[in-house]
A and B are shown apart, each in its own frame.
Chain A
C-alpha cells in the first residue's frame, strides 16, 4: 500500500525520463541538479529553535527558486528520532524511499550511522561549494574525532560561550573553578540543560576538559581509558555544584532555548551556549534582555561543526545534495552568520572567497553580545564521541534518576 504522500511524487516522476532511478554520481553536478528538479527533500532537523526554523524555511524558498527542489522541514525534538527511523526502515526492507532525506547531524549520531552503513556517500567533497570550505582552519573533516570521509557535509561552526546578564553579574569567569565559586556565592542562579540534551552534555565535556590534565586520552575511545579515574574530578565538581544549581538540581531546563527563557525570566544569570551569536540573535528577537553578554574560558572552549548527512535509502539524494551544496554557498553562509537571523559561525575560508563576498562577511554587524573571532580564543577539539555517551549515562545515573 502506497500512501498519498509518497504516491504523488511517484506519479509526477512518471512524466520525467528515467528520473532518479539510477544513482547519480555526485561529481557529475549537472546530472545531480537535473535529477533533483521536482524532488521533495524531507530534512529532519531539530525544531526547538524558532531562529533555526526560520532559516531552514528560507533555505527551502531559495532551493525551490534556483533548483526546483521542495524542502520540507521535519521538526525533531531529538536528532536520534531520525536515526532510529532509518534503522527501522533498513530492517523492514524499506531501501529506496526513506521518510528521511537529510539529517542535521554530528557526533555520536553520525558515528553510529556511519558505522552501520546507513549513510549515502561519499558526496560532500564533490559538491561545487566544497572549494570554499576552510578545510585547514576548521574541523570539518573529522566529527568528534571520527573521520568524515565525505559522508556528511558541513554547514555551520559552533563554539561554546557562556552568556551572562550584566545586570546581575559584574565580571566574567575565567575557569570552571571560578564558575563553581560564583555559583556557591549565588545559589540558584546557574543551571544547564539536562543531559542527554547535547548542550547539557557539552557542558559536562567542557568541565571535564577544564579539570583534566590529560586531554590526549579524551581523543581516544573511552574503552581505552580508565573512565573512573579520568572523570573523577568531574563528579567531584558536580557534587559540589549541584546543590547550588537552580532548583538545587532537582529540575533542569530541557534544552538550550528553555534555558534562554529562564534567563529572560531572570531566574538564572549564567548559561552555556553552543553558538557565539545566539545571545545577540535572542536579544534581537525579544527573547533575552539587552544586558546579556558572552565570554569564553581562558583556556579556550569546545568547538565543532554541524553537518548534514543523507540516508542510504533516501529517494531524493540529488535534491538533498543540492540543499547541502546550497548550505555551503557564500549566500547561505552569510545569512547564517548574521546575528539577526541565526548567528552561526561560517565553515568557509575567507581567503577563498571573492572580494565582494569577503567584504560582506567583514561588514556583518555581529551584534552587541557576540565576541569577535579573535576574542573567541582557542577552540578545543571535541573528545571522541564515546566519551559523550558514557559521561551522559553516568550523569543520568548519578543526578538524573533521583538520589
Chain B
C-alpha cells in the first residue's frame, strides 16, 4: 500500500476496484500462457524430463514426415469449418424465418436445456442413435429395411468426419441460437422488421438484410469460439471421429500418452501446429466475413424483395432445427434406455428386459465421481461468479467499461485450443512442485467457467436501471449497500442462470480435469470418456444420464429458486 493510499482512503478504494479486472485476467490468462510456454519448449526439442535438452526443429520435421499428417490436418479444418458454417446457417434460417413465432419459442425451450448437456453425453447418444446397429436402424429393421443383420456401412468414425461434424452441429446450434436470441434484445429487431416488411420485403430476406448484420456483429466472437472448438475438440472426436488417422487433436493426446517420452516432442509440435491451424482458420473466417459483408451489401442495395425465399427457407430452417434438437433428445433417451437394459441384441427395438442391475452396479462409482464433480463445479463457479461480479461492479464504480480488446482476452481461453496449452500446464504444475489434484483442477475449471459466466451475466448487469442507483445514493446509501441490498437481489435470476451455465461448463470439462488432475481426480466426464474406450453401452448410458442430470438440476434450481425467494415480491417476477 502506498503512502498516498493510506492518507486517502477513497483512492485506496478506487485502486482496489481498479485492480480487480487485472487480477481476474491474471487468473484467467496466466495458466493459458504458462501452458503455451510448456508446449513451445518441447516442440523445439527441449524436454529435460526425457533427457532431451538440445533445441532443434526435429519434432516438426518428424511431424510432417508422419504419413497421416495431411489427413489429420484436413479433418481438423473441414470439420471445423463445416460444423461452424452449418450451425450458423441453421440458426440464421431459424431466426430469419421464425423470429417472434410460437414455433421458435417452443424450439428455444427445447434447446436451452440441451446447451448444458456435456458434449460427451450428446456424442454418445448420437452414436447410439445413428450407428448401423443403432436405435434408428433397430426401429425400422427388419420389417422395413430387410436388415436381419446391421448393414456393413461406415456411419460413425467415417474418414470424412461427417458423423463428427453432425455431432458438433447438434451441440453448437443451441449455443449459437441462445447467443443470437440474447443479441436480438439489443438489435431493435422488431422495429427493423416492421420497416422492412412495410417496404414489402419477405420475412426471410427482410430479416437477413436488416437484422442479421446487427445480430452477427454481436455473436461474432461466439461464432469464432465454435470454429476454434470444432477444429480442436478431443472428447467428441474420440467418440464420433475417424481413427485411421484420427483428427489432429486426438492424435496429440495419443502421442502425449505414448510410453516413449520422446513422443511428447512430436505431440507438442503437433499441438502448436493445431494452434497455427486455428489461428489461420480464424483469419480465413475473418476474410470470409469481409467478403460476405461486401456481397451482402450489394444484395441489399439491389433492393429485391425476395418474397419467394420464404417458401423454401422457412420450412428448411424449422426442419433442420427440429431434427437437430430431436437427435440430441432421442440420443439422451437412448442413453437412458441402455442404462436399464438387460440383453439387447440387434434388431430388437427395445431390450429383452429392463433391469436396475446396471445402476446398482455403477452407482458406487457414479456417486463418488458425482461428489467430486459437484465440489469442483461449486468451487470454480463460486470463484468465477465472485470475480465477474467484482469486475462488473468495478466497471460501474470506476466508470471504465471493458474495451473490445478486453473482450478478446476474456474469450482467449475459449479461442486457444485446449490441446495447445493443457499439456504444458501439466508440466508446469509439476515443475513448480504443485501436486496435481483437486485444487489445480478447480483452478483450471475457473479459467473455462469464467468467460461463460462473464458472457451470460454482463448484459443483464449493464441493463439494470441506473436510476435505482441514483435514487438510492441520493438517499445516502453507500455503493456497497446498493450492491448488496438492491442490485444483487434484483439480479438474482440472471446471477443464478450464469452460475448454472458455469456449472454446466465445469461438469463437461474433460481435458483440463484429466491433465491437471493427473488421473487422481475422477469426475463424471472423465469416467464416462474412459468408459467410452470400452464400449460398454450400459455403463456409458448410466454415466451419460448422471452427467445430464448433474447439469440440468442447477438450471432447474436457477429457474425455481427466484420464485420461492420472491414469493412475496410481486414486482420482481419479470
Contact = CB atoms under 8 A, between A and B. Distances in A.
A258 B49 contact: no
A42 B157 CA distance: 34
Contacts of A400: 68, 243-245
B273 to A, nearest CB: 16
Interface in A53-79: 53-54, 57, 72, 74-79
A381 to B, nearest CB: 22
B146 interface: no
Contacts of A265: 131, 133, 150, 345-346
B535 A253 contact: yes
Contacts, number: 204
Interface stretch (A2-10, A19-27, A149-157, A230-238): A2-10
A402 B159 contact: yes
A75 B527 contact: yes
A6 to B, nearest CB: 5
B433 interface: yes
Contacts of A287: 536, 538
A251 interface: yes
Of B66, B131, B520, B538, most A-chain CB atoms within 10 Å: B520
A391 interface: no
A357 interface: no
Interface in A197-253: 246-253
Interface string B334-378: 000000011111100000000000000110110000000000000
A264 B522 CA distance: 29
A261 B536 contact: yes
Of B257, B534, B538, most A-chain CB atoms within 10 Å: B534
A99 B258 contact: no
A359 interface: no
A47 interface: yes
Nearest to A7: B435
Given A3-B439, A255-B534, A266-B346, A194 B426 contact: no
A91 B49 contact: yes
Interface in A68-125: 72, 74-85, 87-94, 97, 99-100, 108-109, 112
Contact of B518 (A47, A99, A259): A99
Contacts of A188: 152
Nearest to A109: B259
A84 B520 contact: no
A44 interface: yes
B361 A87 contact: no
Nearest to A49: B534
Contact of A3 (B152, B345, B438, B533): B438
B260 interface: yes
A77 B536 CA distance: 13
B48 interface: yes
Contacts of B54: none
B310 interface: no
Interface string B227-271: 000000000000000111100000000001111110010000000
Given A50-B539, A53-B365, A84-B259, A1 B434 contact: yes
Nearest to A80: B259
A254 interface: yes
Given A6-B437, A251-B154, A401-B244, A289 B535 contact: no
A89 B430 contact: yes
A258 B430 contact: no
Contacts of B21: none
B259 A48 contact: no
Nearest to A266: B346
A389 B131 CA distance: 32
Interface residues of B, number: 69
Given A50-B536, A54-B361, A91-B48, A266 B149 contact: yes
A255 B533 contact: yes
B519 A250 contact: no
Given A57-B364, A99-B518, A247-B152, A289 B259 contact: no
Nearest to A5: B437
B572 interface: no
B530 interface: yes
B152 A92 contact: no
B157 A251 contact: yes
A53 B532 CA distance: 14
Nearest to A90: B49
B361 A50 contact: yes
A168 B387 CA distance: 62
B533 A80 contact: no
A187 interface: yes
Contact of B519 (A87, A99, A254, A257): A99
Given A5-B437, A47-B530, A91-B49, A75 B430 contact: no
B280 interface: no
A309 to B, nearest CB: 13
B502 interface: no
Of A81, A87, A88, most B-chain CB atoms within 10 Å: A88
Of A2, A3, A81, A99, most B-chain CB atoms within 10 Å: A3
A76 B534 CA distance: 11
Contacts of B132: 267
A308 interface: no
Contacts of B518: 85, 99
B214 interface: no
B19 interface: no
A251 B242 contact: yes
Contacts of A92: 49, 427, 430-431, 433
26 contacts: A1-B435, A2-B435, A3-B438, A3-B440, A54-B361, A57-B365, A75-B531, A76-B519, A78-B257, A82-B519, A99-B520, A194-B243, A194-B244, A247-B157, A248-B154, A251-B244, A252-B243, A252-B244, A254-B533, A257-B536, A260-B535, A265-B133, A266-B346, A396-B68, A402-B159, A402-B244
Instruction: Sort A-B residue pairs by CB-CB distance and give the 4 closest, nearest first.
Output: A401-B68, A258-B535, A91-B49, A48-B534
Given A260-B535, A266-B133, 16 more contacts: A1-B433, A5-B520, A6-B435, A50-B361, A50-B539, A54-B361, A77-B533, A91-B430, A92-B427, A99-B435, A247-B153, A250-B158, A255-B534, A257-B533, A286-B343, A402-B68
